[in-house]
Amino acid sequence: MTKVGVLGAKGKLGSVICEGIGASDDLELVARIGSQDTLDTLVEAGAEAVVDVTTPAAVMDNLRFCVEHGIHAVVGTTGFDDERLATLRGWLADAPGVGVLIAPNFSIGAILMMQLAAKAAPYFESVEIVELHHPTKADAPSGTAQRTAHLIAEARRAAGAGAVPDATETALDGARGAEVDGIRVHALRIRGLVAHQEVVLGGVGETLTIRHDSLDRASFTQGALAGLRAVSDHPGLTVGLEHVLGL
């Protein structure tokens, strides 16, 4: 049994991950950490790995503690930019054998959606992303939408594709969405929704829409558990659950 802790255990995502760990027969939940708890509990409980599903403001301090104490970490918390990733690499260089897996999305379907979008991207002149979430989500566009945009942009660059065509000359603020790595991303916040995304691609005379729907937060559990099982075999920094799932 691998001993694991959950950081952000009382949150929306943390509580379903705790349930999933409790139902597994190879992972033992030894620490449920909230914002008022001390991270020393992880060491006292002998945690070998954690899942961090807290907040962008809290996650870096949590990770520094884990890396310094030789605890592997699977991170669902969003908000990782190049600067944060470089900081993490620096910490991990001093902690050989420790693995940190940044998983912007724990959903297997969403990971496949991103990969399919990147695969299709070089074959279509146009591509835009529409992400749709519940109205209590704090950040826009979502981490998944931004990662999808980067993957699409990389695939287009590798194929020598030019800029996405757009003749817009006048527009109200926000009408054309945010631009992420040259890809337009539109964010909808709708009561009743969980987490959804469409990638709309277009070429002459045809469109292709790739859509993923997370209907329940339980969809994130399997990916988080797969990350926990794999992270100790991936020392250093890994970005994207697909690298440990063999997708």
The residue among 57 and 93 lying less far from ligand NAP, judged by its C-beta, is 57
Q: Please, what is the minimum distance in Å from the beta carbon of residue 141 to ligand NAP? A: 12
The residue among 55 and 115 lying less far from ligand NAP, judged by its C-beta, is 55
Q: Please, what is the minimum distance in Å from the beta carbon of residue 103 to ligand NAP? A: 5
Identified catalytic residue from 3, 10, 69, 137: 137
The residue among 164 and 244 lying less far from ligand NAP, judged by its C-beta, is 244
Determine how many CB atoms are found less than 10 A away from the CB of residue 217.
18
Q: Please, what is the minimum distance in Å from the beta carbon of residue 191 to ligand NAP? A: 16
Active site residue 137: yes
Residue nearest to ligand NAP (CB): 11
Q: Please, what is the minimum distance in Å from the beta carbon of residue 12 to ligand NAP? A: 4
Three-state SS string over the chain comes to CEEEEEECCCCHHHHHHHHHHHHCCCEEEEEEECCCCCCHHHHHCCCCEEEECCCHHHHHHHHHHHHHCCCEEEECCCCCCHHHHHHHHHHHHCCCCCEEEECCCCCHHHHHHHHHHHHHHHHCCEEEEEEEECCCCCCCCCHHHHHHHHHHHHHHHHCCCCCCCCCCCCCCCCCCCEEECCEEEEEEECCCCCEEEEEEEEECCEEEEEEEEECCHHHHHHHHHHHHHHHHHCCEEEECCHHHHCC
Question: How far apart are alpha carbons 164 and 175 in whole angstroms?
Answer: 16
Active site residue 133: yes
Q: Please, what is the minimum distance in Å from the beta carbon of residue 97 to ligand NAP? A: 24
The residue among 19 and 125 lying less far from ligand NAP, judged by its C-beta, is 19
Q: Which residues bind ligand NAP (CB under 6 A)?
A: 7-8, 10-14, 33-36, 53-55, 58, 62, 76-78, 103-107, 220
Q: Would you please indicate which residues are annotated as catalytic (active-site) residues?
A: 133, 137
